[in-house]
Amino acid sequence: MKKSDIAMIVLIAAMSIGVAFLVIGSIPGLNLSSTSSEKVKTINRYDAKIDDPDADVFNSTAVNPTVDITIGETDSTDISEGSN
């Protein structure tokens, strides 16, 4: 390679870095200025106390989703037995 080729590659690389710096600096979310800050909501204190569950949902008359339910009066457990 000639010296002029290397100089052209260095010039193009420097210009590319400069353009990338300007583009990244113009995006508001990526701007790292010290004047802008965001407030973050934090908890005051972690407590190990557990509240009682809601009595409207967890009671003795509530529906148990783990119980098998059969709708209708079918005795067959395999549906494919009667079809050919």
Q: Is 1 a member of any domain?
A: yes
Count structural domains, the chain.
Answer: 1
Contact partners, residue 80, CB within 8 Å, separation at least 6 = none
Q: Is 68 a member of any domain?
A: no
Q: Is 17 a member of any domain?
A: yes
For residue range 35-83, list pLDDT tens digits in order. 667 788 888 888 888 888 888 888 888 877 788 878 887 665 555 555 5
Question: pLDDT at position 34, please?
Answer: 60
Q: What token pair was written down for 72?
A: 């209708």
Q: Is 21 a member of any domain?
A: yes
Q: Is 51 a member of any domain?
A: no
Which residues span the domain enclosing 15? 1-26
76 contacts 82 by C-beta, under 8 angstroms: yes
Reference 21, options 31, 11, 12; nearest CA is: 31
What is the reported pTM?
A: 0.36
What is the pLDDT confidence band of residue 6, given thresholds at 50, 70 and 90? very high
